[in-house]
Amino acid sequence: MTKCQNNQCDQQRIKRHMKRQKKKPDFSSIESCNGSIELTKEQVKAALTSLFLIHKQTRTVESRKRGRNKSNDRLLENQNKKQKQIYNNILLSNITQSETIILATSGLNHQQMKQIKKFVLLFNCRLLLFDNKTTFNHTITHLITDEIDHNDSLICTLTKNVVFAIAQHCFILSYRWIIECLQQNTIVSEEQYEIEGDNIFSTKHNGPRRSRLSKRPLLPLNHFIMIKGGSRHFLDFTNSEIGDLAWLAGGIYIEQNRFPNTVFPRQCFLLIEDEDIRNKNMFHRCIDKGLKFLRSEWLIRSIVEYRMANIVQFHCDPFDTIDRSE
């Protein structure tokens, strides 16, 4: 091949190479690697422009979503305002507007339960029913109970639900409050229908009102309570239910078999029934160390009357050796 032909071939290669450079680069053929890739100013500018457009598109999508969420929130607010206007007469005067009446019952007959259900439908309230497996619910605001002796006695039958309701600072109301609300077609004041006593401890201790208005726990913080025994406690409470009451009353419920050491003075109580204490020597050794053996009735009475009951009256004494003359 002559030199002239070689020069022509070289010129053709140079032209093809220049044409390739003028074409837009094909990034699909670039493979990822650890080394750096050199880009021209035009390529950098194009890449930044595309990134800005993508970011702008995402921002517009997000702003549209926020706009839709705001419009939905406005709709919900308008619906809530309408509902508050409709049900304004069923909201309590002493609780916030967002809370409604949640009822539970104790000791009511079949005919009275019919009136309760009518009340719930009329005033858009909630009614919680309990069986033998469920315990009192912390969301309840009102416990409706029976009255004994005569219609306006404000003395109720003491049940588990009544004890739990007092421990949780609920309204404990006579069934007459339901009847009065139905007759007047509005929620009337609860205070004049609040239970004042019970059929076991006292007919006028005002424990429910004292508990509802109290802002402090019943038991001091240094009261440690342990529950033992296989038999049923007062009012047929179980060990776990007594433990729940101790916790609701503000005491420190100990589930282990040993009281913890503290840097501050403490009061240790073991709630147990007399028939569950069988070891006389162990019983007296624990008393010498400062442990107080009390029947569970002490805690229940303290909660029902919402004041500390005298522990001397409730000392366990299965061996008749404790002097109660204190």
Same-domain check for residues 144 and 185: yes
| CA pair distance 41, 253, nearest whole angstrom | 74
Tens of pLDDT, residue by residue over 67-79, are 656 665 665 565 5
Q: What percent of the chain has pLDDT over 90?
A: 53
Tens of pLDDT, residue by residue over 183-223, are 999 999 999 999 999 999 999 999 999 999 998 999 998 99
Q: In the structure encoding, which two tokens stand for residue 177, read together? A: 């409050």
Beta strands 223-227; 102-106: pairing state: unpaired
Query: Residue 10 domain-assigned?
Result: no
Indicate if the pLDDT at residue 59 is higher than 70: no
Same-domain check for residues 253 and 306: yes
Same-domain check for residues 132 and 206: yes
**Domain containing residue 278: CATH number:** 3.40.50.10190
What order do you get walking across the sheet with 102-106 strand by strand? 126-127, 102-106, 142-145, 171-174
Note the pLDDT of residue 215: 83
Amino acid (one-letter) located at 136? F
Tens of pLDDT, residue by residue over 136-186, are 788 999 999 999 876 688 999 999 999 999 999 999 999 999 999 999 999
| CA pair distance 221, 131, nearest whole angstrom | 33
Same-domain check for residues 174 and 205: yes
Q: In the structure encoding, which two tokens stand for residue 36, read together? A: 């750096």
Query: Residue 26 domain-assigned?
Result: no
Q: Which of 192, 213, 234 is the last residue of a domain?
A: 213
Query: Residue 186 domain-assigned?
Result: yes
Same-domain check for residues 122 and 158: yes
Angle at 144 between CA 143 and CA 150, to 5 degrees: 135
Give a three-class secondary structure readout of 66-86: HHHHHHHHHHHHHHHHHHHHH
Q: Which of 179, 213, 247 is the last residue of a domain?
A: 213
Query: Residue 22 domain-assigned?
Result: no
Angle at 93 between CA 92 and CA 94, to 5 degrees: 95
Same-domain check for residues 178 and 119: yes
Query: Residue 11 domain-assigned?
Result: no
Count the Cβ atoms, other than its own, within 10 Å of residue 156.
Answer: 25
Contact 286, 316 (CB under 8 A): no
Same-domain check for residues 231 and 190: no
Note the pLDDT of residue 263: 86
Same-domain check for residues 209 and 110: yes
Query: Residue 168 domain-assigned?
Result: yes
Q: Considering its fold, how many domains does the chain have in total?
A: 2
pLDDT-derived band at 117, boundaries 50, 70, 90? very high
Same-domain check for residues 279 and 189: no
Note the pLDDT of residue 260: 86
Q: At what angle do helices 176-184 and 110-123 cross, to 10 degrees?
A: 40
Same-domain check for residues 166 and 125: yes
Indicate if the pLDDT at residue 110 is higher than 90: yes
Indicate if the pLDDT at residue 90 is higher than 70: no
Indicate if the pLDDT at residue 49 is higher than 50: yes
Residue numbers of the domain that contains 124 = 102-213
Mean pLDDT of all residues in 11-22: 63
Indicate if the pLDDT at residue 325 is higher than 70: no
Length of the chain, in residues: 326
Q: Which of 161, 178, 213 is the last residue of a domain?
A: 213
According to DSSP, residue 294 is labeled E
Query: Residue 37 domain-assigned?
Result: no
Note the pLDDT of residue 58: 52
Query: Residue 17 domain-assigned?
Result: no
Percentages helix, strand, coil for the chain, rounded to the nearest 5? 45, 10, 40
Same-domain check for residues 245 and 277: yes
Indicate if the pLDDT at residue 95 is higher than 60: no
**What are the contacts of 114-121 at 24+ separation with CB within 8 A?**
115/175, 115/178, 115/179, 115/182, 116/144, 116/178, 118/182, 119/178, 119/181, 119/182
Count the Cβ atoms, other than its own, within 10 Å of residue 226.
Answer: 21
Same-domain check for residues 236 and 200: no
Q: In the structure encoding, which two tokens stand for residue 118, read together? A: 């009518």
Tens of pLDDT, residue by residue over 259-310, are 888 888 999 999 999 999 988 899 999 999 999 999 999 999 999 999 999 9
Average pLDDT taken over every residue of the chain: 79
According to DSSP, residue 97 is labeled T
